[in-house]
Amino acid sequence: MLDRLERPMRDLRISVTDRCNLRCTYCMPRAVYGPGHQFMQREELLTFAEIARLARVFARLGVGKIRLTGGEPLLRRGLHGLVGALSAIEGITDLALTTNGLLLAGNAQRLADAGLARVTVSLDALDRQTAQAMSDTPVRPGRVLEGIDAAAAAGLAPIKVNMVVRRGVNDHQVPHMAEHFRNRPHVLRFIEYMDVGSSNGWRIDDVVPAADILAAIDARWPLQALPPAGEGEVARRYRYRDGAGEIGVIGSVSVPFCATCTRARLSADGKLFTCLFARRGTDLRQLLRSGATDAQITACVEAVWSARSDRYSAERSAASAAAPDPARVEMSYIGG
């Protein structure tokens, strides 16, 4: 099944909640997601049974990789039960989780036992003051590192560590993060600050281009480019020439990867999105709860994907960058 640009659907990112225990300035700024913010009610969320049913539909259409996201997915009670259901689906060969790591230490083993294969952990700084500036929350980076250690001990590998880099806020932490994760089995990935949604006050001047990040690291620890890990891989891979490990860079702003994007996204309330920068999604929850058959749901998904022509990052203009579209869906809703 191909879209209009002949891109297959291979990956499904499933948001299980719109809630989070951080207020990262690039994702859920406190001014918008403060005490008065109305999060989804329990009845609005897809149940685990509904998620599993949709996952089976997507698997039959060619999806082999599923990633659970949020919000913070570990805030969803009983998540290991969903992991168990998804891991049993025929055709799903890779089941992963993206988390901020704060609750990972207490959940890693149970998730691994249920069938989770690997985790990606968000960590924007090792310095406590900088981490708090990025998350707008009194977070202790050591707690996230403890979660990473617990995940490694549970066999959730390889572990990827994502650092969103924002100029003037945490860009000085790039070499410190690189040094910390050198000679460790984890893969540190640097992500350009992206214009997802409109609530984070994104400006192009806040973006540290991937080329600058690589140059800063290469000047201290020479790097060598590696081939993509697989079809639809969004990170460009590099190895340290001294054998101290691997890093990645995700340059959605400076080096768009729209041409090879194979991702579909499912929001926590059951809307299907075909791009991280989308304005609207297709309501699959309504189909589920109105008694639609699997064949009818499949036909809907096929129609949505076959009509897909999204390539926002490749088409990003100076005008759109200067004035983000207020109609675009927010990252915390769509799952990053």
Find the mean pLDDT for residues 6-23. Answer: 96
39: pLDDT confidence band, cut at 50, 70 and 90? very high
The one-letter amino acid code at 180 reads H
For 149-197, the pLDDT digits (tens) are: 999 999 999 999 999 999 999 999 999 999 999 999 999 999 999 887 7
Q: How far is CA 6 from CA 123, 259, 260, 279, 298, in A?
A: 35, 9, 9, 22, 19
pTM, full prediction: 0.94
Which tens digit of pLDDT belongs to each residue from 249-304?
999 888 888 889 999 999 999 999 999 888 899 999 999 999 999 999 999 999 99
Domain 11-334, what fold?
TIM Barrel (3.20.20)
Q: Where are the domains of the chain?
A: 11-334
DSSP conformation letters of 158-204: S-EEEEEEBTTTTGGGHHHHHHHHTTSSSEEEEEE----SSTT---G
Share of the chain above pLDDT 70, in %: 96
pLDDT in the model for residue 320: 53
- pLDDT tens for residues 94-145? 999 999 999 999 999 999 999 999 999 999 999 999 999 999 999 999 999 9
pLDDT at residue 289, rounded to an integer? 98
pLDDT band for position 326 (50/70/90)? Answer: low
